[in-house]
Structures are given as C-alpha cells and as structure tokens.
C-alpha cells in the first residue's frame, strides 16, 4: 500500500486527506487547528495523529504534497495602465494564481499610491502596462517609482515588451528582486496570464511561505506547491475538462464560502449564446476566479451588514426567528466576526448561518457573472455582453465549511440561479448541484499534479 | 511602424467595411488595432492609450455619427491624447446634407480629416501617411 498525503494549511484549520494510490480510494481525512504562530508542524502532527488513530491500518505515507492559505494567504498588488485593460489583466493574473488582490493601481503611480504600497501588507507586486509595441512611457515611470521606493517586495514585470530592457537595467541597479515575463495583455483585450501565474507560484513556493512560517514544514513534508485557491481552481479544471479519454463534466462553477472570503471559480468560455450579442471588454480567462473579501460567514460576517440591511436580511432568513429585531441580527453577525471558530448550536443559529451563506452566494454570483445590456440600434435591439455568459453551466459545486456541514446546502446554492429581478445577470439557468462533502477539492487539485486520472475518479465519486 | 485604432462608433453594427479598412491599412504597413462594432468613445480612447496609437479612425454608417462623435476631441485631450490624429468617415450625418457643411462641423469638433460616403480608403491612407510623416 502506498499513501499519498495531501495537506492544506488553511488560515484556521490544517486539513489532511490520505489517498491510497494503489487501491484508488480516499483512506480518510482529518483536521486540526493551524499553528503558524508557534510551529506549523504542531497542527500538522496533531491532524496526522488523528488520521492514523482513525485508520490504524493506513499504509505507509510515500508522498506528501501541500498547499497553503495560512497567515492570510497570498496578498498581491496589481498595477496597469488603463483600469479596464492592463490593470484588469494584471488583477486577473493575480486572482488566477490564487492571490487576494487588495490594491489595484492604474496610470502613473503617485506618491500617495507608493505610500499606500509601503504601508500595505503585500507579498508580491505585479506590474503591467501597455500592449506589446504600445505605450511604454507609463510602465517605465511606474518601474522607476517602484525602484526608488525600495519596497523590498518581489516585483513581477509583465507589460509592454519594448520596455523590458530598460526596466531590467533599472531594477538591476536598485537591487530589487524582480522577474520579467511575457505581457499579461500582449494585444488589445487579449489576455495572457499563464507566464505571470507561473512566476507568482514560484515566488510563493520559495519566498512567501517562508515569511509566513510555513517553510519549516517543508523539511518534513516536502514542497508546498501552490496557494490553496489555485489548487481548488485546478481541481475544478480537471473535473470540467476530464483527462485524456476520460470525459469531464463540462462547463462548471465552484463556490467556496469561507469565513473571511467567498471564492467563485468558473471553467468555460462563457461566450455569447446568441448572434445578436456582442462581447465587450477584456478577454475572460477560461478558468476564472473571483474573490470577495467582504463576503464570508465569520470574520466578514459584520461586513455583510453594509450590503444587506436587516429588513433585507429577513428575505434570506428562512425558518429563522421571525421576531428577531434588527439589534438581534447585528449582534449575531458581530458574534460570528469575533469568534471565527463559532459553531451554531441550535436550529435558529443554524438558520442564521444558512442565511449568511445565501447572501454570500447571491452577492458573489452577481459580481462574478457577466451581464448584458440592451442597445437600441436602427437595426433592432442588440446586446452588449460584458464578462462570461454562464447561463448554460451544467454543474455548480459547493464547498467551504458552511456548505459542507449543512443538510440544506443545495438549497443555499440555488441562490446562484437566474433571478427575475436580476434579469441582466447571466447566471446559470438550470444546473445540477454537487457538494464537496469530504472537503477534498483542494486536495484533489494537488493530487492531480501527479495523478490526474485518479484525482478525476475520486472527484467524480465523492462530489455528491 | 505606426499604430492606428479603428472601429465603428455608437450603436452601429456595420461589420464589413471596417474589415476592409483594416485589411488595406495593414497592407500599407500600419499596425492596426480594430476594436470592431458597437464601440464607445471610451473604447477608442482606452485602446489608443494602451497601444500608443498615433491616429484614431472612426467609422459610422447609420447616420447618428455626429451625435456619437460629440466631445470626442475633448475626451481625447482629457485622456492625454491631444497628439493623436482623429479621422472620421462614412454616412456620418442624418440624411443627405451638403458635405462642405458637414466637414466644417466635424472639423470644428476637432477631427483632423472628414470623409464623405463612398471615399476610397486608399485616399485616406495617403492622408494618414502624410499626417504621421510616413509617406
């Protein structure tokens, strides 16, 4: 027997999944609190002990792969020229690599913006600007400002190639850590995020996890190969596309509702479904991820109140306490923000969590899907489509604690579907819902790096 | 090699002519960025910024061009594109009007060159070369 152990160092829990690669089964899963403040291996050892206790006959662990989102995950800043073009392309490259993007700057960086960067908690900066052969004045200006600022943060340059040599000299002199890769938008509206994503991952593996106190885990468990959100995206892509002759599930969506953020991943072109629809804006990545930093059921719970007023909240609060006052609702949200490992104890609290999850689902969907807009032309009605048309998505997969530990999870996921009062949003119309009951998506993304066929098989078996 | 941005402005969906313009300009050695139909002024301007274009060629065939092109020059200036040459051509006004008058109005709006319906694109190419000093 040979066991491949998949590890996910999360911000709250360290989660283990053991896969027997010969018998092709998941032996078991376990979890323990993440311990980045002391020694990250303490949490890992505890989880492993639990796993081995529960499965004493588990074979020898031959390989370990890990992903991490501990200590706040990977935080990036994206810089571009035009907000809707290269700045957006840079942001998408960061998101696709599993990062949280808290700062996006466009045009010339000002002193104030440099100051913001200095004070911000940023792990990597992605600098773009100009198509190949296009504007290079702006990216040169920004590179110069960054070089002068001496931020001590790795900088990835993925802009107009005509500016690459000058930027190379600039950063060489300033002794900043920098990487020059292919342009994220080589031609107008054409997206090319793969080269930037590769470097982000490389920096993450070699540098970032060290600063976050996870590096020492490597001695014992081998390489930490990617940020957790990227592992989830990879699992989704594998399940969607299939592997060699084994067919996948086709276009799909994954919603991951966490305590602090809600991630939405979609795999599919999302191109217009009708001839009178014209696509606008930057090209969409085939595997697209968006992250909502203000949507979550614990740490971000109190932030939900700025989106949903208490009276609106009641629309999402099915079978809940009908007499709950506005203060009760605010208090319940605050309690969740203050205790991120809070678990609901009674039916009412469970209903409340469900309501929060439904809000996260609904709002994250509004921000992820494309929209249509009617244009009245002399030739009749035409439509602009911005973003992805997801009306024909076949499967929606739900993951994250609040969905996994919830009997009504599929009911919550129905919030993603087409809504009559949000008619212009291109939401899925008629999808099947699957729940990641064993919480294995990120683990399968990791396993898929070496054993794609097995990972695909296990995904199909365990997503229900 | 100079970059030029071309496209059809406003709620106009005439997709064929712009392809011909693209083809001819390429043949003459321009780097052509065709933003296609249903393009707003903002689309033209954003494209010109990113690609460092030297000229913007606006096409319009459906008669509402005058409305769509209003304040385009001002918006270009606002976006730091005062140096970019502006060209417009096609059925750019409502109905049949005296072209001299039309040309004057568009020049007043800040367009460098204005072309009546049926102009051969080769004619405009000569002007672009002249204006951008590539003749």
| CA A59 vs CA A1, A31, A55, A219: distances in Å | 5, 19, 9, 21
Q: What is the CATH number of the domain that holds A200?
A: 3.40.50.2300
pLDDT for the residue B71: 94
Each residue's pLDDT tens digit, A252-280:
999 999 888 899 999 999 999 888 888 88
Res A230 pLDDT > 70: yes
Enclosing H/E stretch for B128: helix B121-131
**What is the token pair recorded at A362?**
């609904």
List, in sequence order, every residue forming a beta bridge with A317; answer none if it has no partner: none
| DSSP calls for A142-205 | HHHHHHHHT--S-EEE-S-GGGHHHHHHHHHHHT--EEE---SSSSTT----HHHHHHHHHHII
CB distance A134–B38 less than 8 Å?
Answer: no
Nearest-CA distance A130 → chain B (Å): 5
Question: Do A129 and A272 belong together in one domain?
Answer: no
**Are A141 and A126 in a shared domain?**
yes
Residue of A324, A124, A95 lying closest to A209 (CA atoms):
A124
Given an 8 Å threshold on Cβ–Cβ distance, is A382 in contact with B3? no
CB contact under 8 A, B33 and A81: no
A contact test, residue of B33, B34, B50 with most A CBs within 10 A? B50
Kindly state the average pLDDT of the residues A97-109: 91
10 Å Cβ neighbour count for B45? 22
Q: Which CATH number does the domain housing residue A33 bear?
A: 3.30.420.40
Closest residue to B51, CB basis, from A84, A131, A379: A131
What number of other Cβ atoms are within 10 A of residue A284's Cβ? Answer: 20
Position B106 in a domain: yes
Most confident of A98-102, A193-197, A322-326: A193-197
Residue A211: its pLDDT value, please?
A: 66
Q: Convert the pLDDT of each residue in B15-49 to its tens digit.
A: 899 999 999 999 999 999 999 999 999 999 999 99
Tokens linked to A116 = 């913001």
Decide if B97 is inside a domain.
no
pLDDT at position A176: 87
Host domain of residue B11? 3-69+76-92+102-119
Q: What is the mean pLDDT of residues B75-97?
A: 93
Residue B87: its pLDDT value, please?
97
Q: In what order do the strands lie in the sheet with A155-157?
A: A99-105, A74-79, A124-127, A155-157, A178-180
Is the domain of A297 the same as that of A396?
yes
pLDDT at B135 over 70: no
Residues A295 and A404 in one domain: yes
Q: Which residue segment(s) compose the domain that A262 sits in?
A: 247-435
List phi, psi (to 5°) of A159.
-125, -160
From B13, B31, B38, residue closest to A133, measured CB to CB: B31
Mean pLDDT confidence for A166-191: 93
Q: Do A133 and B51 touch (CB under 8 A)?
A: yes
Is residue B56 within 8 Å of residue B8, measured between CB atoms?
A: no
Q: How far does chain B reach from its first CA to its final CA, in angstroms?
A: 12
Q: Is residue B124 part of a domain?
A: no
| Residues, chain A | 464
Q: Is the pLDDT of residue A413 over 70?
A: yes
Residue B124, φ and ψ in degrees, nearest 5: -65, -35
- Checking if the pLDDT of A37 tops 80, the result is no
Residue B61 lies in a domain: yes
Report whether B49 contacts A82 (CB < 8 A): yes
Residue whose C-alpha is closest to residue A313's, from A266, A354, A341: A354
Q: Give the model's confidence band at B83: pLDDT under 50 very low, under 70 low, under 90 confident, else very high.
A: very high
Do A277 and A339 fall into the same domain? yes
Total number of domains constituting chain A: 3
CB A135 to CB B52 under 8 A? yes
Q: Is A379 on the interface with B (CB under 8 A)?
A: yes
Query: If we measure between CA atoms, which residue out of A289, A281, A277 comes closest to residue A426?
Result: A277
Report the residue from A81, A375, A382 with minimal CB separation from B50.
A81
Same domain, A300 and A190: no
Confidence category of residue A68, pLDDT binned at 50, 70, 90? confident
Give the distance from residue A141's alpha carbon to the nearest chain B alpha carbon, in angstroms.
14
Q: How many residues does chain B have?
A: 135
d(CA A224, CA A235) in angstroms, rounded, equals 16
pTM over 0.95? The answer is no
Reading the block at residue A160, the tokens are 């107009």
Tell me: do A401 and A310 sit in the same domain.
Answer: yes
Q: Is A104 strand, coil or helix? A: strand
The CATH number of residue B18's host domain is: 3.40.50.280
Contact A117, A92 (CB under 8 A): no
How many angstroms separate the CA atoms of B51 and A406, rounded?
Answer: 51
Active site residues of B: 12, 14
Instruction: State whether A278 and B52 contact (CB < 8 Å).
Output: no
State whether A329 and A418 are in the same domain: yes
Residue B128 maps to a domain: no
B65 in a structural domain: yes
Q: How far is B49 from chain A (nearest CA, A)?
A: 7
- Token readout for A438 is 């064993």
In a domain, B133, yes or no: no
Same domain? For A397 and A267 the reply is yes
Task: Indicate whether A153 and A191 sit together in one domain.
Answer: yes
Chain B environment of A82 (Cβ under 8 Å): 46, 49-50
Percent of chain B at pLDDT exceeding 70: 99
The CA distance from B66 to B91, in Å, is 10
Nearest CA in chain A to B5: A188
H/E run at residue A51: helix A40-54
Confidence of residue A236 (pLDDT cuts 50, 70, 90): very high
**Residue A168 and residue A180 in contact, taking contact as beta carbons nearer than 8 Å:** yes
Please give the structure tokens belonging to residue A340.
Answer: 């991120």
Its ipTM equals 0.82
d(CA A424, CA A199) in angstroms, rounded, equals: 37
Count up the domains in chain B and report the number. Answer: 1
Residues A299, A335, single domain; the answer is yes
């Amino acid at each position: 027997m040979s066991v491949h152990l998949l590890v996910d160092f999360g911000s709250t829990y360290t989660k283990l999944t053991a896969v027997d690669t010969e018998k092709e089964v998941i032996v078991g899963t376990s979890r323990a609190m993440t311990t980045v403040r002391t020694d990250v291996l303490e949490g890992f050892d505890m989880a492993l002990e639990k796993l081995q206790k529960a499965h004493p006959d588990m074979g020898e662990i031959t390989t370990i792969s890990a992903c991490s989102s501990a200590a706040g995950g990977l935080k990036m800043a994206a810089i571009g020229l035009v907000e809707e073009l290269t700045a957006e392309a840079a942001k998408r490259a960061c998101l696709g690599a599993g990062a949280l993007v808290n700062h996006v700057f466009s045009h010339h960086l000002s002193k104030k913006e440099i100051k913001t960067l200095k004070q911000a908690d940023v792990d990597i900066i992605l600098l773009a600007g100009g198509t190949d052969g296009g504007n290079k004045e702006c990216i040169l200006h920004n590179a110069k400002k960054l070089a002068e600022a001496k931020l001590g943060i790795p900088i990835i340059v993925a802009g107009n190639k005509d500016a690459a040599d000058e930027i190379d000299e600039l950063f060489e002199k300033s002794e900043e850590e920098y990487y020059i890769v292919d342009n994220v938008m080589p031609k107008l509206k054409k997206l090319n995020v793969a080269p930037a994503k590769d470097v982000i991952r490389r920096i993450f593996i070699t540098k970032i996890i060290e600063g976050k106190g996870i590096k020492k885990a490597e001695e014992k468990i081998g390489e930490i190969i990617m940020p957790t959100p990227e592992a989830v995206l990879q699992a989704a892509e594998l399940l969607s596309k299939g592997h060699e002759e084994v067919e996948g599930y086709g276009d799909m969506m994954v919603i991951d509702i966490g305590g602090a953020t809600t991630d939405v991943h979609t795999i599919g072109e999302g191109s217009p479904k009708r001839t009178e629809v014209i696509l606008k804006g930057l090209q969409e990545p085939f595997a697209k991820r968006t992250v909502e930093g203000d949507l979550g059921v614990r740490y971000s719970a109190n932030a939900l109140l700025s989106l949903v007023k208490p009276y609106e909240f009641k629309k999402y609060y099915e079978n809940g306490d009908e007499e709950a006052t506005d203060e009760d609702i605010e208090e319940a949200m605050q309690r969740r923000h203050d205790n991120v490992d809070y678990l609901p104890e009674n039916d009412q609290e469970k209903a409340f969590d469900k309501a929060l999850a439904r809000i996260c689902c609904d709002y994250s969907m509004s921000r992820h899907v494309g929209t249509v807009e009617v244009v009245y032309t002399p030739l009749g009605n035409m439509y602009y489509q911005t973003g992805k048309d997801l009306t024909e998505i076949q499967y929606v997969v739900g993951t994250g604690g609040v969905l996994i530990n919830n009997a009504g999870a599929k009911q919550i996921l129905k919030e993603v579907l087409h809504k009559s009062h949000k008619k212009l949003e291109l939401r899925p119309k008629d999808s099947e819902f699957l729940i990641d009951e064993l919480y294995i998506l990120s683990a399968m993304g990791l396993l898929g790096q070496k054993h794609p066929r097995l990972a695909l098989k296990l995904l199909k078996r365990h997503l229900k | 090699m100079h970059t030029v941005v071309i496209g059809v402005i406003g709620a106009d969906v005439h997709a064929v002519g712009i392809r011909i313009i693209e083809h001819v300009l390429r043949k003459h050695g321009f780097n052509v960025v065709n933003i296609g139909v249903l393009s707003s002024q903002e689309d033209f301007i954003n494209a010109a910024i990113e690609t460092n274009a030297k000229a913007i060629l606006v096409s319009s065939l459906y008669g509402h061009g005058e409305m769509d092109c209003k304040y385009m020059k001002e918006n270009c200036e606002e976006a730091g594109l005062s140096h970019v040459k502006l060209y417009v051509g096609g059925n750019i006004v409502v109905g049949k009007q005296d072209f001299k008058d039309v040309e004057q109005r568009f020049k007043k709006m800040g367009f460098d060159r204005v072309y009546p319906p049926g102009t051969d694109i080769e004619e405009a190419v000569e002007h672009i070369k002249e204006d951008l000093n590539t003749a």
